Amino acid sequence: MDLTSDSRIVMTLDAGGTNLRFSALRGGKPVSETVSLPSNGDDLERCLANIVDGFNRVKALCPQPPSAISFAFPGPADYPNGIIGDLGNLPGFRGGVALGPMLEEKFGIPVFMNNDGDLFVYGEAIGGLLPHVNGLLEKAGSPKRYKNLFGVTLGTGFGGGIVRNGEILLGDNSASGEVWLLRNKLHPTMNAEEGACIRAVRRVYSELTGTAFDQVPEPKDLFEIANGNLVGNQAAAREAFRRLGESAGDAVGSALTLIDGLAVIGGGVSGAWPLFLPALVEELNSTYTSPAGNTFRRLIPAAFNLEDPVQLETFLKGETRTIKVPGSGRSIAYDPLLRVGVGMSRLGTSQAVAIGAYAFALQKLGPG
């Protein structure tokens, strides 16, 4: 999808438990400044008023009338019909709120909603990691190309999304990619999010150092402690991020078993990837043991850390060879190295969500 040549404007919103951030894009680039308003998530009337106010403010900044609204909103939700369910971080939403239809009546243009994890991965599939890797493969002379992308965001929570062959996989209940509900490898009675988010890193550091949880630094400071740039328990900080990588890797491995594609990582903790990504990829390449004591890979394809230059070189090179077509004088290229790769967001999480929302609206609107 070529976003740059499309002249239509789409207004977007990234809705969180604290703030509502509005903007507008044309040609895949912002045409307005970002407008931020409080969510007032415990008061439905005030929250809805702020949503309308935010879009009105952005509309006034647009150089021409917008063609659609497309935005990320937390679930559970019936995204295709624009109905929001009972939200944990926006408790004012109860019993089903027809937010999409309300906005369509207010602004007289189509309204599209999705989960932020889905839109993050969609943005990376269109203009981020997926085309970046396919471009590198083409440059390397490899016949290998990827069409499927799984993504996670590591931050306050552990979100996920799936793009299959250029389309978001929403699921029949708008609930696919809910990676946070997978089992936690290190604490099997808990869900995966408790091992793969900000509080997980802080909790491990608290346990290893005997520090009260509310006294533990935020992950950005723990990252500096782990690198020896701030005073603290360096070994504990490094172990906290390693465990994050192992926990996230187990969840990503379960997803890639079904999806068989590349994986992209974003979110507020993603800047600490040098400390957790090696453990994540190591988990993908781990093994199971059969009752007879034999070991076998947890993933059929080999997994590669796309941020590691040595691993990236092997990934791009593959094992391409030429084989003959039986009964013919013809030969074809063949790469028998089955492989998946994990890399970091190439757009940045917020930008990827905005690009994903913009592209989703254009896809639904059809040719301009």
| pLDDT greater than 80 at residue 239 | yes
Distance CA 339, CA 261 (A): 9
pLDDT in tens, 43-54: 999 999 999 999
| Average pLDDT of span 230-259 | 98
pLDDT at 18: 82
Question: pTM of the predicted model, to two decimals?
Answer: 0.93
Determine how many CB atoms are found less than 10 A away from the CB of residue 237: 29
Which of the two residues, 73 and 134, has the higher pLDDT score?
134
pLDDT digits (tens, 9 = 90+) for 121-130: 999 999 999 9
- Mean of pLDDT values over 33-42: 91
Percent of residues, the chain, with pLDDT higher than 90 = 85
Q: What is the pLDDT of residue 76?
A: 87
Report the pLDDT value the prediction gives residue 237, as an integer from 0 to 100. 98
Mean pLDDT of 40-66: 95
pLDDT in tens, 157-201: 999 999 999 999 999 998 999 999 999 999 999 999 999 999 999
For domain 9-114+359-365, the CATH architecture is: 2-Layer Sandwich (3.30)
**What integer is the mean pLDDT of 278-285?**
98
Whether the pLDDT of residue 368 is over 80: the answer is no
The CA distance from 8 to 11, in Å, is 10
pLDDT at 160: 96
- The answer to whether residue 296 scores a pLDDT higher than 80 is yes
Is residue 363's pLDDT more than 80?
Answer: yes
In this predicted structure, what is the pLDDT of residue 73? 87
User: Which residues, listed in sequence order, are joined to residue 264 by a DSSP beta bridge?
Assistant: 151, 343
Average pLDDT, integer, range 300-311: 98
Domain with CATH 3.30.420.40 in the chain: 9-114+359-365, 129-346
Kindly report the CA angle at 12 between 11 and 13, in degrees rounded to 5? Answer: 140
User: Tokens 């796309």 identify what position?
Assistant: 306
Beta-strand relationship, 9-15 and 68-72 = parallel
Architecture in CATH of 129-346 = 2-Layer Sandwich (3.30)
Quote the pLDDT of residue 1. Answer: 67
pLDDT band at 89 (very low <50, low <70, confident <90, very high): confident
Residue 251: pLDDT above 70?
yes
Average pLDDT of the residues of the chain: 94
pLDDT band per the 50, 70, 90 thresholds, residue 138: very high
Contact yes or no for 362/3 (Cβ under 8 A): yes
Does 75 have pLDDT greater than 90? Answer: no
Residue 265: its pLDDT value, please?
98
pLDDT score, position 367: 86
